[in-house]
Structures are given as structure tokens and as C-alpha cells.
Amino acid sequence: MAATAEANGSATAKDKISEKIPAVAHPLAEKSTEIASNIKYHAEYSPHFSPFKFELEQAYYATADSVRDRLIKQWNETYSHYHKVNPKQTYYLSMEYLQGRALTNAVGNLDVKDAYADALKQLGHALEDIVEQEKDAALGNGGLGRLASCFLDSMATLNLPAWGYGLRYRYGLFKQRITKAGQEEIPEDWLEKFSPWEVVRHDVVFPVRFFGQVEVLPTGSRKWVGGEVIQAVAYDVPIPGYKTKNTNSLRLWEAKACAEDFNLFQFNDGQYESAALLHARAQQICAVLYPGDATENGKLLRLKQQFFLCSASLQDIIARFKDRKDDNDEIKWSEFPSKVAVQLNDTHPTLAIPELMRLLMDEEGLGWDEAWNITTSTIAYTNHTVLPEALEKWSQAVMWKLLPRHMEIIEEIDKRFIAMIKSTRPDLEGKLPDLRVLDNNTQKAVVRMANLCVVSSHTVNGVAQLHSDILKAELFADYVSIWPGKFQNKTNGITPRRWLRFCNPELSHIITKWLKTDQWVTNLDLLANLRQFADNSDLQSEWELAKMASKQRLANYIVQVTGVSIDPNSLFDIQVKRIHEYKRQLLNILGAVYRYKKLKEMSPADRKRTTPRTIMIGGKAFATYTNAKRIVKLVNDVGAVVNNDPEVNSFLKVVFVPNYNVSVAEMLIPGSELSQHISTAGMEASGTSNMKFALNGCLIIGTLDGANVEIREEIGDTNFFLFGATADEVPRLRKEREDGMFKPDPRFEEAKQFIRSGAFGSYDYNPLLESLEGNSGYGRGDYFLVGYDFPSYMDAQERVDEAYKDRKRWIKMSILSTAGSGKFSSDRTIAQYAQEIWKINECSVPSM
């Protein structure tokens, strides 16, 4: 009986690891039989689950442990090499990283995918099924975090000595669930069990202080004391380069309180919450990405997060700098900028500036001038937005409360900047109220973080040519006149490993076959050689088959997650990104509503002459962003009607793809044929999903905004469906709107009226539609020019429909899209940062 129970309970034929394979440690195995043994070894001797089970989940963790063995070996060799050579290193500070799944990326970059697939087959599993067990690390939200992750991949692939620094968010931003009421936010559960990819460094712990007061010492120097002190504990995630020994680190900080911060007396007295108060506060810091900041507590928590990242990272950087000197040598602080480059990814890590000043002056005993020279020679700043609400401004009162010493330092930076302007640029004195760091408005005194970054950094860069031009001509124009050499452009890029080689194997295989090399994976400019074959009918038929395989896979995924079946022979039209009014998902869905209405009015014969289309929209709306959440609901309501309308649903489907993340993108992008990048011109800094779609042979309908401008230049304007106002026209059009001169297109009015008629349910969409109406006022006046651009958008969509009917022409355009995407590799971007901003060199780990 016992044997039978055991057989039924935990050792069915499917669950059981193959008896023939011994559980033997082979950490550096290359043969599939040895890899299988190593996986089995981890299942038995690095157990995370009850014994005897080897189902998909257990197999995933054992496989990850096995891959990690090799990563740790390379990691240790990389650490050791950097320590020995002591090169200048870059430290990339970002509040977000959107890493995606690590397993596919690791086996791909280590070039062991086939060996692992074979090993798992011997153990009764398929690699594809194992990969699906991994949850995306919930460390980011949108393009900012995904860019940071692409950059880490390129840094390692280019053998650059560089680290990423971030926070280890337990619940992420949120997991999106779609219900009849619209979007619902629930916590991410990626750490519910644990992540096999991170290694906690119990020896890397730094104290981070909040609140307290500043003490003046008898020497005249100042010290920040009192308040509460939280411990920052390092969790390292390995970042392997593609087919290289170099394996860099993403260091994530976790906030913890010490045992001595637990009040045993209070606990035994029944005061359980107050006994563990500091522990609870520590847990809050890394609980959620971008916690709501409508309350003072919310603002304090966000500021705590930003400072926690900056302080822990800089203490770590300084400790590493001090550790590199010989025991008998004195520390030469003047050498700090020749060993350390710090890059601020947007304004979130701005507090690195006053914190580095504080550490150098208060902890290391340097004077102001020396500390300032070091700080301004070390820190560089990437601007990611021209949207005024996204340029952070922090209340001075909140800052004084949380970070009193830093406010003293910021005041001094502000004072010295004003003095410098008065003495060297008296012509700008009248503009000082806007240029200075502190806005002392009596109603709401704030610290302008972008101004602090520009004043204190040695280099400021935008992320696409148009964006950098706008920064120089408008947002930072006066700073450019003070420091003309400070401003650069670094057009964003994406890693071709994750975004083509691994996510689109069929197309990758075809590219390698026709180029007769796979060197394009690390030299994306080679894709230009596809142009000579764009008219070749053999390539075109192979290309179309590869696209169809990706579309079939995507169709299977869509029915699985939404229950909606879509036709792979229809045009797959996709817009996936954060839901925001400036990104204009509302323009997309209004166009879909108009298309649906026209299809309803057609005769069956006329319908058959149209281009069948499946419109997919995905993205998260911030929890407190009401209009964005209304847009999510509208897309779902339109889909519910259209997809269930038997007259029309062979010609149009509208699908909202829930919980958009990196893994979902890896499914959507290869299967897409048209992608919408339709933001109001001048408002999207760059965009990077446009690059991912173009690289995968997807055509773009878009405005002249962000990197769209450069993508169109590279792939050719005949392969891009352009519409809409240009960035230099937008201010005039807004003024004309205010003056009542705008006349809406009848099609635009028709689409809005159709929604108001109740065709898509009884939900009140008036507040959303009213944002497109009226000439001015809060939440009115169509600030993002949806109405103005609607007619040219609909005309461009008609051109898309016509082009898609000519299959040969469409496939040629698709090939030319991929062929023109070479510029948009993050390898190119990072090589430019390394050479022109960071001044760091390759530091390859030698082969043993």
C-alpha cells in the first residue's frame, strides 16, 4: 500500500525525473547529458520543494539553478578582472528596470540553448514549457525601465565595466486584471516564492538615514544625525553579455531594519505594531513602484525611495573606490572622476547630487570646492521628457523634513549658481527665477529636480534627435547659452538579442541564411545588406511564412488570455505602451469605432472588398489616472460589441491585451504587421517599442515624433505611413483652438456621437469625450490634438488598407523595415555613451 500511495502521491511517470540520469554536479557542463545531470542534482540537492516532484515548476527552478552555476563562474571572473585592472566604471542609476524573463536570455547569451533543450528533453520536459514558468521581474513600468535593461545587455555584450543600480520592488507597479468595470490593479507576485536569479550579498549593507537634524561640530563642519536609519541590503542579478565572458551586475537594494530596532518590551506589553514600527517602515520602501503620491505620506514614501536608491548606491561606489587603492596609499579624491561615471536615468535619482556632496564633505572631510568639482565631473543626466508634469518638482517643506542636510546643500548650489549668473551672464538675470534650482513661490516652494541636474551634471543628453533639439531650443535653451558643450543627443536603441534573435527565431534564421552570417546579432548595421534581396521572390515567400508562424503563435496566445479568437489572415494592427493621453490610444479607438460604424453601414459585398483587420491595444493605466482608465474601459467595451457582431467580426476585431509586460511584448511584436506610434508630435521623447516593431518587419503608422523621425529616415519614407501635425505646428494649433478657430472633421464627430449613442454600453463616456471638446479650460480643449489629427490619421489608415492588399509590395516594405533598423541597436547607443559621456573603455575578461 505504501508503495502505491507513494506512486500515486508524488512519483507518477510524468513527475519523476528519469531514473537513468545521475544527480551529479556539473556546474560548467556543456554536453546535454551532463547538463541534465546538473539539473537533476539541483532538483535533489538545492531543493526548494518537497522531494520526488519534478513537475514544470520544480524543473524551472532546477534549470535556473543550473544556468546560474555558469553565470556565477563568469560573474566571479568578471569581478576579479575589474578589480585587478581597475578601469573607470559606469554606474547606471534607474528607478526602473524591465528585465523580462532571464532564462531565455541567459541560455541565449551563453549560447547553450540547444544543449539545455536537449537536456530537458532527456528529463521529460520541453524548454518552451519550462520558460513559461518564469514570472517577469516586476521592477519597472514602461519604456524607461526597458531601455535601462537593454542598456545593461549592451554594456555586458560590449565588455564594458558597468553596473546597474535599482530597487527590489516586491509588488511592482501592479498586475493588470480586466473586468467589466475596466482595469483592476492587483499586486505582482514575482517574489511570492523567490527569484532564482538573484544573489543576496549579506556583506554589502549600508545605513540610510531619514529625517533627523544637522549638527554643527566645533570644527565648523556639519553632520546629519538622529532620525531613523534603515539598512540597504544588496541583491545582485547577473547580466551576461552575448557570447562573451563578461557578466556584469544589476544591484538591487532591499530595505531592512535591524534586530535591535525591534522593541521587545513593547511587544511583550502587547504593543505589537509599535514594537516593529521601523521594520514596517522599512518594508514600505521597496514594496511598490511609484506609490500614489496624492497624500503627504505618499510624497514622503516616493522621496524615501529615491533617496534610498541614491544613498545606498553612492556609499557602495565610494566603498569600491576606496577598496581599489593600495593599503599604504592615501586616498586621492581628485582621481574619483577618472574611476567613476554616474549616469542618472531621468530625474528620479537626482538626489545622488546632494548625497555625493554630503558624503564627500561630511563623511570624507573634503571642502565644498573639491567636492563640487568631483560631483560635477562624475555625474551625467539623461532627460526623458518634455512634459512639464513629468519634470519632477519636490516640495521644499517635505525635503527639509526628510533630508535636512541635503536641503542645505541644494540651497548652497542654488546660491552659487545665482552668483555665477550675476557675475558672468548679467543678461540672464531677468530669467533667474526660472533657471535657478529653488522656486521660492510663497504658495508652493519647490526644488526643481531637472534644473538641479542640468546645473550639476557635466553632460545632459536627450534620447532622440528631435527630442534633443527641442531640449536645446526650448526647455533648456538658456542653459545651452551658458554651457553650449554640455548638451548631447544619444538616440535610444534596443538589444537585438532579446528583440529579434530570441523572440523571433524564424525570422532570425532567414536573416542569417540570406546574409550568410549571424554577425548581425552584434553588428546590426549588417541588416542593410538585406536591401539587395528585397524584391527576391524566394526571400519574400520565406519572410511571409515566418511572419505567419509568429501570427499563429500570437493568435493562440490571444485566445488563451482573452477568449477572443482572431484570424491570422487579417492585418494584425498593434498599439502597446503605457496608457496616456499624449500617446493617443484614444485616437486609435475612435478610428476603430468609425471603421466599425462604416462596416455596419456597408452591404455584404462591399464588406468583402475591405481589408480585414485585428486591432490589439495593450498597456497599463496608472492607478490614479482617471482618463487613462476610461480609455482602457472604452477599448474593452468596443471590443465586446464588435467581436460579437456576426455581420462585422470577420472583417474587424478589437482586442485589449491584458497585463502588458516584456514577455507579452515578445509574443506580440514578432506577430505584428502594423504598429501605431501616434503620439502628439513633440511629446514622445523617443519611444523604443517603435524600434522593436520596425526591427521585426512591422510597418509603422505614426507622427513625426520622437525616434519615429529617425526610423522613417532609415527605412525610407515610402515604407512609413505618416500623418499628423509636426512638432513646430503644435503651439500654433493650440492657440488657434483657444481662439475658437478649430473646425472638427465630420468623421470625428460621427465617431464620438456613436459612442454617446450607447452603442457600446451604458457607461458614461462624456467626461472622456469632453476632454476633446471646448476650446480651453482644465480637462478641455483637446490639448493633445486628437481632433486635429483625426482626418489625416483616417486617410493614412486607408493607405494602409490599400497597401496590405498588394502582398508583394507589403512584404517588400516589411523587409526594408528590418533592413533599415541597424541604427537602432542599443550597442550603438551604449558605445556612444561610453566614448562621449562616460569615457570608459572595453575591459574584456580573458579566456582561460
Q: Indicate which residues carry an active-site annotation.
A: 384, 577-578, 583, 688, 692
How many Cβ atoms sit within 10 Å of the Cβ of residue 802?
A: 11
For residues 673 and 662, what is the distance between their CA atoms, to the nearest angstrom? 19
Measuring CA to CA, which residue among 568, 609, 584, 302 is closest to residue 449?
302
Q: Which residue shows C-alpha cell 516586476? A: 138
Q: Please, are residues 150 and 826 in contact by the beta-carbon 8 Å criterion?
A: yes
Q: Please, are residues 263 and 361 in contact by the beta-carbon 8 Å criterion?
A: no
Distance from CA of residue 589 to its chain's centroid?
25
Q: Please, are residues 270 and 184 in contact by the beta-carbon 8 Å criterion?
A: no
For residues 280 and 664, what is the distance between their CA atoms, to the nearest angstrom? 34
Measuring CA to CA, which residue among 821, 556, 512 is closest to residue 671?
556
Q: Please, are residues 194 and 48 in contact by the beta-carbon 8 Å criterion?
A: yes
For residues 742 and 247, what is the distance between their CA atoms, to the nearest angstrom? 56
CA dihedral 495, 498, 502, 507 (to 10 degrees): -50
Task: Tell me the β-bridge partners of 113.
Answer: none
Q: Which long-range contacts (CB under 8 A, 24 or more apart) does 78-82 make?
A: 78/245, 78/246, 78/247, 78/248, 78/845, 81/843, 81/845, 81/846, 82/161, 82/843
Q: What single string gives the DSSP state of each residue in 645-707?
A: -TTTTTTEEEEEE-S--HHHHHHHTTT-SEEEE-PPTT--S--SHHHHHHHTT-EEEE-S-TT
What letters, b where the CB count within 10 A reaches 16 and e where it falls short, cover 501-525? Answer: bbbbebbbebbeebbeeeebbbebe
Query: Residue 791 is which amino acid?
Result: P
- In this structure, what DSSP letter does residue 785 have? -
Q: CA dist 441 to 387, 393, 399, 445, Å?
A: 21, 12, 15, 5
Surface-to-core class of residue 846, CB atoms within 10 Å of its CB (0-12 exposed, 13-18 middle, 19+ buried): exposed
Distinct helix (H) and strand (E) counts, the chain? 35, 22
- In this structure, what DSSP letter does residue 21 have? S
